[in-house]
Amino acid sequence: MTGTARTSEGLDARRKRLLFRSWHRGLRELDLILGPFADSHIEALNEQELDQYEYMLTINDTDLLPWLMGERPAPTDVDLTILNKIRAFRPSVKA
């Protein structure tokens, strides 16, 4: 069971793939952050946000989790727009 609360029905192939990858990171903590975010926002993300999100999903789990949790700053070459959107969605995640 993935934990996803939504179906991928009606989503284009890219959004379906990103939704799946959000729930299957390999690190359960990230699944529980990214999965619900994707469930709620994947349909509404614009092309630039999809590009940022897709890139973010390529980042190693051990780097990404501390950035999302606010434990370490993200490198300056990483666009913070999507990270901040995820942080805002999860009030338990420090900004």
Q: What is the pLDDT along the chain (95 residues), one digit of tens a residue?
A: 456 666 777 788 999 999 999 999 889 999 999 999 999 999 999 999 999 999 999 999 999 999 988 899 988 877 778 988 998 887 554 54
pTM: 0.84
Nearest in space to 67 (alpha carbons), one of 49, 46, 81: 81
The predicted pLDDT at position 3 comes to: 61
Domains of the chain: 13-89 (1.10.150.250)
pLDDT score of 14: 94
Among residues 73, 71, 86, the alpha carbon closest in space to that of 25 is found at: 86
Give the pLDDT score at 92.
Answer: 54
